[in-house]
Structure 1
Amino acid sequence: MTSMVSKFFARRFLQSSAGLVFGKEDPYHEEIPQDELGRKKKGSKRKRQVPPGLSQNDAKVLTEVRRRAYRLDQSLGFWCCGIGIGWNAIIIFIPGIGAAIAACLSYNVVQAANKIDGGLPNWLYTEMMANVSFDFGISLVPLLGSIASVLYKANSRNLLLLEKYLKERGQSNIANGNFAH
C-alpha cells in the first residue's frame, strides 16, 4: 500500500513539475501577443494580465494570491539551475520548524484564494490543500525533501489552479452577459 501511494505522488510530482520548472507555463508572466509587440522583440514577456469578465473582488483576490505566491516561490531575484528561488526556499531549511512555517504560509495563500466571490469550490479547495499537504510531507525529509519542496512550488501550482478557474468563470460571465466593465 505504501508503495502505491509513493508511486502516485512521485508520478504526480514529476508530471506536473516538469511544466512548471522547465518553463512550459510561467504563472507570473505571459508572452506579449504579436499584435502588441511594437518595438519589443518576439518572445518578450510581461506580467500576466487579469482575465476579462471577473468581478472587482475576484480580480483583487487573484492579484493578491499572485503577489503572495511570487514572494514565496520566486521573489529573491536569483535563479539556481534555472529555478527561481523565493522565501520558502530559505524558510524550509530552518531546522525543526521550517517545514511547518512554510506550510502555514502556503495555507495562508489558499485562504487568500478562498476570498473570491462565493469562495472556492470544494474540489478546487481540496486540490489546493493537497498541494500544500504534499509539499509539507516531502519537506519533512531532511535535505533532499527540502530541495524537492523548493522544486515543487506548491504556491505557484495553486496560483495556476486559481487562475484557470477564474479564467473559466470570467468567460462564462461574459457569455452570459453577467459582466459589465
Structure 2
Amino acid sequence: MPMTDHFDRLADQAKLGRDPASVRRRIEHMEHLLEGLITVPVLNRRIGLDVILDVLPVAGDAVAAALGAYIVWEARNLGMSKWQMTRMLGNVGFDFALGLIPWVGAIPDFFFRSNTMNLKMIKRHLDKHYPQAAIVEGEVVRR
C-alpha cells in the first residue's frame, strides 16, 4: 500500500462526521482502545486502557470513566432514550466504582467490560433506527 493512500485513509478517519456510520466507527474505535488494545499472552484475553489505567489510583479510573462517558455522549447525539442513557451511565459508574478499590480494582475491571456492553446497546439502536448505516464485514453498506 503506497504511503499516500495510508495518509489519505487516516485523514478520512479523522473527519468527525455526524452521520450514524461515522459515529458507529468512532464508538467502535473507542471501545477497542478501552477494552481490546493488547492481548495478555498466558490468558489469551484482550485488555485496554480501562484496565491499564488502573495502575494510577483514582486518576486512572477517572480518565477511563471520562473516556467511557464519551461513548455515552456519542449515544446521546444519536437520540437514544433516557432509559438507555441511564443504563449506559450506570455501567460506566459501576466500572468506575470497581476500579476505585485499592490494588484489586483491576481484577473486576478485567471481567466487567462496561464499554463493550454500551457498544452493544448502541449497535442495537443503530441497527434498528439507522439500518442504512449497517456494517457488513467492516465495510459500510449504503442502501
Question: When the two structures are superposed, what TM-score results if normalisation uses the length of structure 2?
Answer: 0.72
Q: SS of 1:114's equivalent?
A: helix
Flag the structure with larger Rg: 1
Question: When the two structures are superposed, what TM-score results if normalisation uses the length of structure 1?
Answer: 0.58
- 1:95 maps to a residue whose letter is P
Query: What is the distance in 1 between the residues matched to 2:46 and 2:95?
Result: 17
The 8 Å contact of residues 62 and 113 in structure 1, kept in 2 or not, is answered as: no
For 1:112, the equivalent position in structure 2 comes to: 74
Q: Deviations over 1:122-157 (max 9, x none)?
A: 111111101001101111111222210122111111
Query: What is the distance in 1 between the residues matched to 2:42 and 2:22?
Result: 31
Find out whether 1:168 has 2:128 as its counterpart. yes
Query: What is the distance in 2 between the residues matched to 1:100 and 1:64?
Result: 21
- 2:70 maps to a residue whose letter is N
Kindly indicate which of the two structures has a greater share of residues assigned to helix.
Answer: 2
Query: What is the distance in 2 between the residues matched to 1:79 and 1:63?
Result: 27
Q: SS of 1:141's equivalent?
A: coil
- Describe the shift of the 1:84–1:130 C-alpha distance in structure 2 as closer, same or farther (beyond 3 A): same
Q: Cα RMSD between the aligned structures?
A: 2.2
Aligned length: 117
Query: What is the distance in 2 between the residues matched to 1:87 and 1:81?
Result: 17
Q: Which blocks of at least 5 consecutive residues in structure 1 are unaligned?
A: 1-55, 172-179
Q: SS of 2:102's equivalent?
A: coil
Q: Deviations over 1:42-91 (max 9, x none)?
A: xxxxxxxxxxxxxx811211111011011111012445523211112111
- Describe the shift of the 1:80–1:167 C-alpha distance in structure 2 as closer, same or farther (beyond 3 A): farther
- Describe the shift of the 1:142–1:109 C-alpha distance in structure 2 as closer, same or farther (beyond 3 A): same
- Moved beyond 3 Å, runs of 4+: 77-80
- Describe the shift of the 1:83–1:77 C-alpha distance in structure 2 as closer, same or farther (beyond 3 A): closer
- 2:116 maps to a residue whose letter is S
Q: Deviations over 1:76-126 (max 9, x none)?
A: 24455232111121112212311111111111121122222xx22111111
Q: Which blocks of at least 5 consecutive residues in structure 2 are unaligned?
A: 1-17, 132-141
Matches within 5 A, 1:88-167: 88-116=50-78, 119-167=79-127
Find out whether 1:73 has 2:35 as its counterpart. yes
Over the matched positions of the two proteins, sequence identity in percent amounts to: 27
If asked which structure has higher relative contact order (CA below 8 Å, sep 6+), I would say 1
